[in-house]
Chains A and B, each alone.
Chain A
């Protein structure tokens, strides 16, 4: 049975990679590897996981330089030469080892006005929204985001521009901008316009490349660019 050479980040922003030898199994995910290290080799290793079946996004880490869900990354796919490098997600402060501080990620979500502003009450009838309508189709294309942070960690503009709201927050704002029941459209467009918002996106498309839910935040951000431009030209922004 062969072994894996696994370099795991230890420490915070300042730290180093620590090498472990982990037995290689026939069916093994990167999360299995991290779990093995923490349970059998070094109990002081800090890492996050929850569902371990690709639904919650908690186990997102940097594997061989690329942000991924570790529970859905087979070792066979990424450790061709028997070597793995596992680190915390990029663009976020490191609490310890593989766990990052996600507060700014969610703060930016709020700053992008990424929450629904209701217009109906319990006394009103249900809203009727045809699923095939263009607005609903646009919203549905981005609605499956679970806030895992992979896109945010993959985005270089986030690294270069500390104020940039990032792909996830902007994608959520776009889904809400297309929600016919929402009442905060003008306010939301104002929140996502400008150097900290959608206009800082340079279409690197790393977010779209890496999103485990196959969402294309680039498409959503392009939509926001069009929507804000239209709003300015119509005098609404």
Chain B
């Protein structure tokens, strides 16, 4: 018999899912990011051409999304490092709240900067 969503309805599981999906998205994005910056090899004009494309609203929204994913993955990762290396405490659920909070802060900061 297999478990369904009812067995997974608790915060630590959602934290895992966010961490895994954000990691997957970032891993898929990374080669593209490296390639784009590598455009600078062709000179500032090529990079500017690319940057002009990034001014489009949909791209800006995607960029904001990526930063949020990065912040989420980082915060979740720090939580994992704490769970694995620090002495076990009963307030680990607070770690999850702290990770979520950090992510929101990062997202807001970028939203304001944009």
Closest to B6 in A: A65
Chain A interface secondary structure, helix, strand, loop or mixed?
mixed
Contact B6 A205 (CB under 8 A): no
Query: Are A64 and B6 CB-contacts (below 8 A) given A13-B1, A89-B1?
Result: yes
* Chain B residues within 8 Å of A202, by CB: 16, 20
Chain B: residues with CB nearer than 8 A to chain A?
Answer: 1-8, 10, 12-13, 16, 20, 80, 83-85, 88
Interface 0/1 of A180-219, CB less than 8 Å to B: 0000000000000000000000111110110000001011
* Chain B residues within 8 Å of A216, by CB: 88
A13 to B2, CA, bound (A): 10
Q: Shortest CB–CB separation between residue B23 and chain A, in angstroms? A: 11
Q: B2 contacts which of A9, A159, A218, A222 (Cβ < 8 Å)?
A: A159
Contact B1 A203 (CB under 8 A): no
Closest 8 CB pairs of A and B: A65-B6, A205-B12, A219-B88, A222-B84, A90-B3, A90-B1, A204-B16, A209-B10
* Chain A residues within 8 Å of B85, by CB: 222, 226
A156 to B20, CA, bound (A): 14
Query: Chain A: interface residue count, which band?
Result: 20 to 34
* Chain A residues within 8 Å of B7, by CB: 65-67, 90, 154, 156, 206
A80 to B83, CA, bound (A): 35
Chain A residues numbered 158-185 whose CB sits less than 8 Å from any CB in chain B: 159
Q: Which of B5, B8, B20, B84 has the most CB of A within 10 A?
A: B84
* Chain B residues within 8 Å of A4, by CB: none
* Chain A residues within 8 Å of B4, by CB: 65
* Chain A residues within 8 Å of B88, by CB: 141, 216, 219, 222
Query: Are A203 and B6 CB-contacts (below 8 A) given A13-B1, A219-B88?
Result: no
Closest to B1 in A: A90
* Chain B residues within 8 Å of A89, by CB: 1
| New A-B contacts (7) at CB < 8 Å, excluding given A94-B1, A202-B16, A203-B16 | A88-B1, A91-B1, A91-B2, A156-B7, A205-B13, A206-B12, A225-B84
Q: Which of A88, A153, A203, A219 has the most CB of B within 10 A?
A: A203
